[in-house]
Amino acid sequence: MKKYISAVFMVMFFATIWMGCKKDSPVDEDGLLITTRAECFVSSFEMLGSDHLVTHGKSATIDTAAQTIKITVRFGTDLKKIWPRFGLAQDCKLDPKITTWVDFSDLTTQRSWTVISGNRQVKKTYKVFVTVEQ
């Protein structure tokens, strides 16, 4: 009888361990939930200066078909220390991640970021073009 109870206990124990380790939802390498959403676009864009204030007067022009973002910053803005802020479609993520200030001082070269959809199947690379007010 003790062997029977021991065997039942062991089966229940391993079943509990197995069920507890099973993931309910898939996550990516960043720990973000992978969903079924295929939408992939930039909905808004801002640039913050070293003082953490917006560096532009007008909103950025986002062309989702051409995958470009054009923005004009105020004259005198320190373009070596800019923090770009992207608004993305639901469940999307940005690559590369923005973890520090970005140098936009070379206005002849645009910067690029890739937006990745919630299902991680669709990727669109957006180019950011910056001009300075006269």
CATH of domain 26-132: 2.60.40.2340
- Is the pLDDT at 9 greater than 80? The verdict is no
Beta pairing class for 68-73 and 123-132: parallel
pLDDT tens digits, one per residue of 63-91 = 999 999 999 999 999 999 999 999 999 99
At 49, is the secondary structure helix, strand, or coil? coil
Indicate if the pLDDT at residue 18 is higher than 60: no
pLDDT confidence of 12, banded at 50, 70, 90?
Answer: low
Asked if 97 and 88 count as a contact pair (C-beta separation under 8 A), the reply is no
Average pLDDT in the chain: 89
Burial of 84 (0-12, 13-18, 19+ CB in 10 A): buried
- C-alpha to C-alpha distance for 54 and 41, rounded to whole angstroms: 22
